[in-house]
């Protein structure tokens, strides 16, 4: 063992080193009473591996290390074991002088036989002892101490190499692109900024999002804990679960508030009101009874006290019954503050379909991984559909390749409980519904028009657009920005 000292902040600091043969033991002493995990969570094996790597790195140095040090003999490498839990500190035969006049540099070089290795910025220089190994360390430390004591420089310290443990990351992010786009497909940040939003809230259980659709699998393990109310306006069942392969509503609900730890949702803390208003006709059609749908809307905002109504449905001509029910929700819901109405624009790459044409609602188009408006020629590869557009368009949200919940078991879009191919403005709409729910989670007193305004004015503009336009609306949803704005509202 070799004891060395140096000055730090005016005090003489002991620096104990150990030969490399004892590296693992030194990093993780295994004496009596020190069994089990190493301090600070560094296990013995990890410590040994870390020290070993550090030594290996010095034994076969890459540039610039190779030009800075004498040939490194593995047997001579020293390490400092107890400096910090995650760092292996290796002293070298070099020293750093800071703020030393040229005369002082010359003096110390002449006295100890030091070689000028490099001149850094702001008056720093790196000097090297004439030999390596333990003898070189002794020379370097002595030169540093003596120079510091003379007071002719600002600092004179041994030059340490620090081999720091790489911060261990979790396995590659499993977060879907719509919530956090890493750029592995598409453009980094072309997402709803969920991770940042979650630093503020993941949603309050007091905020209820109603999903009006062809039913929701309210027994789904990822949805059941969120269900606070459900009603079937199609067949009058006591639940709102779908028929056959009618999986659309289950997928929409999952985007809003799936509780699953892998198939994530934007608002996993929100509550679900499941409302069945449609059913498949066995082919490519959806059957909707206008009166029942109007009743469903009224039930959602009035009886079920929904704060947000997510509507991934539409088509056909307008009718006053549905329009008035929406208007009541918007003006009388939430004890007069108004329920937030979110409605899909449609998937024909044509004019927006009713009820997305209604005023004072959020009408939602679709974007893709490249932050493009979804069209038949956008880069996502889904060339069979495009997002509708028009004067009523409010904003876009992700609408391709969306992972979400599927009907439990064999039925639905897949034979599993989840799907990763959900798409359409149907999938974009629940993103915005969830965002509205998050906004109300942090600012429950906001009126619905304020929520609408927050969600649209905080959008990220898509490339090339500087203002609202009928193809992209105000841009792509940015949940984090909306939440920040909500907290200031």
Partner 1 sequence: MASPKKPDDCYYYAGGERITLTPAQDLLAFDQAAASKGALDKVVAGLSARPLTSGVSLVEQDQISAKDRQALSQAGALRPVFRAADAILVVLPEIRVEDSRPGQVEQLQDWFSKHCDDVEVESPRAGRFTVRPKSGSGEDALALSNALVEELGAQVSQVRFVRVVPRPGTAKP
Binding residues for partner 1 (CB under 8 A): 234-235, 248, 279-292, 294, 312-321, 323-324, 344, 346-348, 353-354, 382, 384-385, 423-426
Q: Find, among 430, 432, 351, the residue nearest to 393 by Cα.
A: 351
Q: Which two tokens stand for residue 293?
A: 């749908």
By C-beta, is 217 or 307 nearer to partner 1? 217
Nearest distance from C-beta of residue 343 to partner 1, angstroms: 11
In angstroms, give the least distance from the CB of 52 to partner 1. Answer: 53
The alpha carbon torsion through 78, 83, 87, 92 (nearest 10 deg) reads -30
Alpha-carbon distance of 423 to 443, in angstroms, equals: 30
Name the minimum Å distance from CB 310 to partner 1. 12
Nearer to partner 1, 120 or 285 (CB): 285
Q: Which is nearer to partner 1, 258 or 353 (CB)?
A: 353
CA distances from 480 to 151, 209, 417, 445 (A): 53, 19, 29, 19
Find the farthest-apart pair of alpha carbons in the chain and give their distance in angstroms, rounded. 99
Exposed, middle or buried by CB within 10 Å (0-12, 13-18, 19+), for 64? exposed
Q: Which is nearer to partner 1, 158 or 280 (CB)?
A: 280
Burial grade of 20 (CB within 10 A; 0-12, 13-18, 19 or more):
buried
Q: How far is 134 from 172, CA to CA, in rounded Å?
A: 43
Collapse the DSSP code of 296 into the 3-class scheme (helix H, G, I; strand E, B; otherwise coil) and give the result: helix
To partner 1, the closest distance from the beta carbon of 376 in angstroms equals 11
Shortest reach from residue 419's CB to partner 1, in Å: 11
Q: In this complex, which beta carbon is closest to partner 1, that of residue 52 or of residue 349?
A: 349
Nearest approach in angstroms of CB 236 to partner 1 is 10
Q: Identify which of residues 123 and 315 has a Cβ nearer to partner 1 in the complex.
A: 315
Closest CA to 193 of 459, 485, 426: 459
């Amino acid at each position: 063992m070799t004891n060395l000292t140096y000055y730090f902040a005016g005090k003489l600091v002991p620096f104990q080193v150990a030969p490399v043969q004892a590296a693992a033991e030194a990093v993780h002493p295994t004496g009596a009473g020190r069994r089990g995990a190493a301090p600070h969570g560094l296990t013995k094996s990890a410590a040994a591996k870390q020290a070993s790597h550090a030594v290996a790195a010095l034994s076969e140095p890459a540039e610039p290390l190779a030009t800075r040090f004498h040939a490194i003999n593995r047997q001579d490498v020293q390490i400092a074991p107890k400096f910090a839990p995650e760092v292996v500190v290796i002293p070298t035969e070099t020293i750093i002088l800071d703020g030393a006049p040229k005369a002082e540099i010359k003096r110390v070089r002449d006295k100890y036989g030091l070689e000028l290795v490099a001149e850094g910025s702001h008056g720093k220089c790196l000097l090297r002892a004439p030999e390596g190994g333990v003898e070189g360390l002794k020379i370097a430390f002595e030169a540093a101490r003596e120079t510091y004591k003379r007071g002719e420089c600002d600092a004179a310290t041994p030059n340490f190499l620090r081999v720091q443990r790489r911060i261990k990351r979790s396995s590659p992010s499993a977060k879907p692109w719509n919530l956090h786009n890493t750029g592995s497909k598409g453009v980094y940040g072309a997402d709803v900024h969920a991770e940042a939003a979650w630093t503020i809230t993941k949603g309050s259980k007091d905020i209820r999002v109603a999903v009006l659709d062809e039913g929701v699998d309210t027994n789904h393990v990822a949805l059941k804990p969120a269900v606070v109310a459900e009603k079937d306006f199609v067949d009058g069942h006591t639940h709102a679960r779908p028929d056959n392969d009618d999986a659309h509503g289950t997928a929409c609900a999952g985007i809003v508030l799936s509780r699953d730890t892998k198939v994530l949702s934007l608002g996993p803390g929100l509550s679900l009101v499941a409302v069945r208003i449609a059913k498949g006709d066995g082919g490519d059609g959806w059957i909707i009874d206008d009166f029942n749908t109007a009743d469903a809307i009224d039930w959602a905002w009035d009886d079920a006290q929904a704060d947000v109504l997510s509507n991934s449905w539409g088509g056909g001509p307008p009718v006053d019954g549905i329009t008035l029910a929406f208007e009541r929700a918007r003006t009388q819901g939430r004890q007069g503050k108004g329920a937030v109405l979110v409605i899909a624009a449609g998937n024909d790459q044509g004019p927006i379909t009713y009820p997305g044409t209604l005023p004072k609602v959020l009408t939602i188009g679709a974007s893709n991984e490249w932050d493009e408006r979804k069209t038949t020629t956008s880069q996502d590869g889904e060339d069979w559909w495009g997002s509708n557009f028009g004067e009523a368009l409010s904003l876009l949200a992700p609408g391709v390749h969306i992972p979400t919940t599927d009907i439990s078991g064999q039925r639905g879009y897949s034979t599993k409980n989840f799907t990763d191919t959900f798409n359409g403005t149907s999938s974009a709409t629940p993103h915005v519904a969830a965002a509205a729910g998050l906004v109300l989670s942090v600012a429950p007193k906001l009126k619905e028009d304020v929520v609408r305004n927050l969600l649209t004015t905080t959008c990220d503009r898509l490339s090339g657009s500087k203002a609202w336009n009928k193809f992209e609306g105000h841009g792509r949803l940015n949940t984090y920005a909306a939440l920040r704005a909500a907290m200031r509202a």
